[in-house]
Structure 1
Amino acid sequence: MRTPLGWLQLRHDPGRFLVALAGIAFADLLMFMQLGFQAALYDSNTRLDRSFRADVVLISPKALNLQNLSTFPRRRLLQALDVPGVSEAQGLYIRTVTWRNPQTLRSATVQVLGFNPDADVLRLPEVRAQADLLKLPDTVLFDRGARGQYKEAIARIDRGERVTSEIERRTITVGGLFRLGASFGADATLMASDQTFLRMFPRVSAGSVSVGLLTLAPGASSEGVVEALRRHLPNDVKVLSQADFVQFEENYWRVASPVGFIFGLGTAMAFAVGVVIVVLVLSNDVNAHLAEYATFKAMGFRNRFLLLVVVEQALILAALGFIPGALMPLWLYAVAAQATSLPIAMTLERAVVVFVLTLAMCLASGAIATRRLQAADPAELF
């Protein structure tokens, strides 16, 4: 059997070995956290989009994302019903505003949705079950997954007590709760009827909506209806399938927003840190055993054999360093999710991605560390 030279050399100096494992684990931890925050950015800002019960979505061409929407004429919804395959059309009013936290009385950013409570426009059973509450004047539903100090206020609402707040100098009553969660754009979401929404924001025209939700008839082709709507409707409205609408929101945070770029850059920097650490460890190991490697070359062993020894070391470091690097984020994800109310959790896909990056990081480091060894002359080494 082949002697495991790579493993024996790593084990020969336990201190250096542990330092290398700690460095790889730290780099993996940084990559896990950056990728976790990046995924939370996309997931938190698209889960409201995913909750819309629609096959086709209409928005203004000027819209940037769900927190920066423009409006389009409501009559476009009626025109959309003329297209074969469209069975229902509903409009949403959406606005991001500052409200008064009913518990701390401090200002906080919330997103308010206004819609017809008799229409089934959201894939949120708790909202649908409390549709009658929304018909009461100036009554809203509050997101129990909100970010901020709302624990006491939520407990009072659960007990059936009357909880009030203020939006645009108008007093509103929080009549019930549902769960959606905070995002990078808003601390919470409020659900209101379209009539309550228009009373809260009197400068908003009832004839202009933020989002149009179209439901297709059974058997209708989504792609065909989307193309027909684009030909039928004027250019003051943008037609997207439900999947394209979610992708539209994600693309904003991925490309147009600097936040997505920062998390991507952080992952690249963590990878670079790992490469530097492993290169230093392997280079020191190569230098410490240069005489032994020279002996192998003098005996006729080729550079490929020596390279495989260093590659073996790199693979061992990648595998053993990944284990603590993957375990530590489990706790940190839980802490971050609790503190921010964002959907941060470990996924198998992310673990595979980081493991592949770890392998690439260690193999690249091994290739760099063996450059001097491959160019060296055995006679000079002695």
Structure 2
Amino acid sequence: MIGFIQQLRQRTPLGWLQLSHEKSRLLVALGGIAFADVLMFMQLGFQNALFESNTKLPNSIQADILLISPQGRNVLNISTFTRRRLYQAMDVQGVQSAEPMYINFIDWKNPKTRQKTSVLVIGVNPEKQALNLPDVNRQIDIVKLPDTILFDRASRGDYKEAIAQVEQGKPVTTEIDRRTVTISGLFSIGASFGADGNLITSDQNFLRLFPGRQASSVSIGLLKIQPGYDVKQVKAALESHLGNDVKVLTKAEFIEFETDYWKKNTAIGFIFSLGVAMGFMVGVILVYQVLSTDVNSHIKEYATFKAMGYNNLYLLGVVFEEAIILAVLGFIPGAIAPLGLYHLTRNATNLPVYMTVARAATVLMLTMIMCIISGAIATRKLQSADPADMF
């Protein structure tokens, strides 16, 4: 039995033996790495929710090419252009249809609490399929009725009672800008960082809700291309045919346009990226402190190894071994804790914050790099250690 234990110890990595010798120091290191990982997980989760929640509507739009005003910053801050451009677009070979979409924010009263909140209203032509949302397309005839809307069941707020009534086939009435409207159907897009919820209705109902808005002022033009035509070629033809008061985008470019706004033109996108960087730096500092302390406390042992003929590369390998062990062990609690935090965030905000395999792999890779960098810094003193100076 004693011989087996000795053999087991001989096969145990030296790095693990050194780390496990000071258990309190090991626990502090793992706690620091887990904290850094949780910080990175949360920031990456919020960043992904930012992009995903704000691109759900653009992703659901059913069009090959979209026309928007050059003044538009994103879907939530969209400008308008004249409807004449849609008629002109129909003159371009390959364009099958050109339909308007109307978008604007409006205050409405929660049917239950009667509190005001801001929601995004989307007006579409009910005779044409504008959105790739089965729930909307199945109920689109409902919004042909005056002052009738479809409500986003994934909106942020207390709407359980109203949603339950609508699901039972009982219409719910509420007030939008002093106008009584009826919720007769439900769909799901979800809240975003810019909007608490969404309403979909007909273009005519939209204009009733916004009496100062002209039908000729379009938010987005939805163009469908005839089969057999190349989208990029039709886009180029549209750009040369239409005026400078519209921007022509493919659907992929429109989604990228929305993502770039939140990524590059808002403070919130920068803050989440900075949060990931800060978590990474915190981890580097914490792991460096642990490894540096370990190297200092065992500097004589390392010097003895040098005197016995072990070169710097072997000793550096021991420290890097410690760094990898810390990265793996610290990642485990660092990946478990965000699962609960993500669930809490989803319930509180209705934002799409979920753990993904890709994100877990990204954070694990960052943790490895973080610990290796710390190990590289901590080994500087080890490389200069001279056995003659230690004794």
Q: Normalising by the residue count of structure 2, what TM-score does the alignment of the two structures yield?
A: 0.96
Q: How does 1:180-195 map to 2 (within 5 A)?
A: 180-195=189-204
Q: Is the 8 A contact 1:168 1:201 kept in 2?
A: no
Q: Is the 8 A contact 1:81 1:87 kept in 2?
A: yes
In percent, how many aligned pairs have the same letter?
Answer: 59
Note the alpha carbon deviations across 1:125-184, whole angstroms, 9 max, x for none. 111111111000001000000101111111122222231222222111111111111001
Q: How does 1:222-371 map to 2 (within 5 A)?
A: 222-371=231-380
Note the alpha carbon deviations across 1:230-262, whole angstroms, 9 max, x for none. 111100000000000000000000010111100
**1:75 is the counterpart of 2:84:** yes
RMSD, matched Cα:
1.1
CA distance in 1 between counterparts of 2:332 and 2:354 reads 17
Who is 1:47 aligned against?
Answer: 56
SS of structure 1 residue aligned to 2:213 = coil
Give the residue type in structure 2 aligned to 1:204: R
Q: Which runs of 4+ in 1 moved over 4 A?
A: none
Q: Is the 8 A contact 1:163 1:174 kept in 2?
A: yes
Q: Is the 8 A contact 2:299 2:385 kept in 1?
A: no
Give the residue type in structure 2 aligned to 1:272: M
CA distance in 1 between counterparts of 2:386 and 2:229 reads 73
> CA offset at residue 326 of structure 1?
1.1
Give the residue type in structure 1 aligned to 2:159: Y
SS of structure 1 residue aligned to 2:66 = strand
CA distance in 2 between counterparts of 1:107 and 1:28 reads 39
Who is 2:182 aligned against?
Answer: 173
Q: Is the 8 A contact 1:110 1:189 kept in 2?
A: yes
CA distance in 2 between counterparts of 1:365 and 1:226 reads 51
Give the residue type in structure 2 aligned to 1:293: Y
Give the residue type in structure 2 aligned to 1:324: P
Give the residue type in structure 2 aligned to 1:89: A
> CA offset at residue 120 of structure 1?
0.4
The unaligned stretches of length 5 or more in structure 2 are 1-9
Q: How does 1:6-21 map to 2 (within 5 A)?
A: 6-21=15-30
CA distance in 2 between counterparts of 1:381 and 1:114 reads 79
SS of structure 1 residue aligned to 2:273 = helix
**1:87 is the counterpart of 2:96:** yes
**1:120 is the counterpart of 2:129:** yes
CA distance in 1 between counterparts of 2:13 and 2:221 reads 65
CA distance in 2 between counterparts of 1:222 and 1:324 reads 48
The alignment covers a number of residue pairs equal to 382
The structure 2 residue matched to 1:27, chosen from 10, 18, 36, is: 36
Q: Compared with structure 1, are the counterparts of its residues 3 and 170 closer, same or farther at alpha carbon in structure 2 (3 Å cutoff)?
A: closer
Who is 2:7 aligned against?
Answer: none
**1:162 is the counterpart of 2:142:** no
CA distance in 2 between counterparts of 1:178 and 1:203 reads 28
Who is 2:219 aligned against?
Answer: 210
SS of structure 2 residue aligned to 1:67 = helix
Give the residue type in structure 1 aligned to 2:231: S
Give the residue type in structure 1 aligned to 2:313: R
> CA offset at residue 300 of structure 1?
2.5
